[in-house]
Amino acid sequence: VVSTQSTGAATGINSLMGDCYPNGDAFSALLNSEACSALFYQGTCYGLKTAAKYADVDVVSYDMLRRGVSDVRSLGHTMCGSVEACYNEVFDAVSDCAADQDYLQGVLDRAVDMYKARAQSDIAEFGASNDNTIMGRLINLAMRRFTDLDSVRAFAMENLDDGMIADAKAGYEDFKVAAADFCDSGCVDRSAKFFKMLFARMHGRGCTDASEFCGACENNARRFFMARSMLHTIPCCLQDVIEQALDGAAYFRDAYSAEMEDAESYLREAFADQPALIAQAEAAAAAAREQIECVS
């Protein structure tokens, strides 16, 4: 199955990238490098295995999550060893091809053509048949707003400024440093060991659904952390990642509160004829906030 997925990916990539031949070979040959091949096969294998594992599961328990930690650890090791190398190989290849000013425009044009040929009609049909659902309405809004490449460019020019681009670049650089520290400190194994123990202690005593933390699951977690043992302490390397993520989320919330309010106003107006969907979205947001407060 993974081999079939690889063949399909290679065909799509070569069609998209057009006349770009890194090292004199098809662009998809980059997938066969040691780093990119490891990422693709491990990622695809994990995805297929996880999809099969949870296909018929209605409620995911913490015990199920505990049994899946080893798979996540294997994926983490592969990512730590391969993501940067694979990214650099692909980035260098694209940069060389992009020296031709017409090349990127050609990629964008081919991407639009591929979307129209392979997905547009199916997505439009789904949206039309499900306009009374949140997903269906969002799809219809997007398809009306983005009718061609020029409309996407206009939206970007209207909503993106130099400050946003600078924030995105700074965030990416911070992420690279944090990821390198996480990997280099051996945090994959330490985090996996920690989560296995935490999930084992959280399962049971009324905690049966991992999507709901408040209540029984929260009480089990508190008992775990109250135990006087270094094994029940979040690894420092993982704590650093969590704190950085929280800081980033707080910065985004503060820096872009006006844009978020504008987006909410736009969506409320777009859903004005579907008050039940607005109520559904508000209830989901309130439930998410409740769970986050319990975790914090």
**d(C-alpha 210, C-alpha 202), whole Å:** 9
Q: What is the pLDDT of residues 28-79, one digit of tens each?
A: 888 788 999 999 999 999 999 999 999 999 999 999 999 999 999 999 999 9
Q: Which residues, in sequence order, are CB contacts of 60 under 8 Å at separation 6+?
A: 54, 209, 210, 211
pLDDT of residue 210 exceeding 80: yes
User: Dmax over Cα atoms in the chain, in whole Å?
Assistant: 63
1-5, 66-70, 236-240: the lowest-pLDDT one = 1-5
Average pLDDT on 164-171 reads 92
How confident is the model at residue 255, as a pLDDT?
A: 94
Angle (nearest 5°) at CA 251 between 245 and 254 = 140
Q: Which residues, in sequence order, are CB contacts of 239 under 8 Å at separation 6+?
A: none
Residue pointed to by tokens 């591929």: 114
How confident is the model at residue 100, as a pLDDT?
A: 83
**d(C-alpha 24, C-alpha 272), whole Å:** 55
β-partners of residue 204 are 207
Q: Which residues, in sequence order, are CB contacts of 271 under 8 Å at separation 6+?
A: 137, 277, 278, 281
Q: What's the pTM value of the predicted model, to 2 decimals? A: 0.82
**d(C-alpha 264, C-alpha 272), whole Å:** 12
The pLDDT confidence band at residue 238, using thresholds 50, 70 and 90, is very high
**d(C-alpha 89, C-alpha 231), whole Å:** 39
pLDDT of residue 267 exceeding 90: yes
The pLDDT confidence band at residue 6, using thresholds 50, 70 and 90, is low
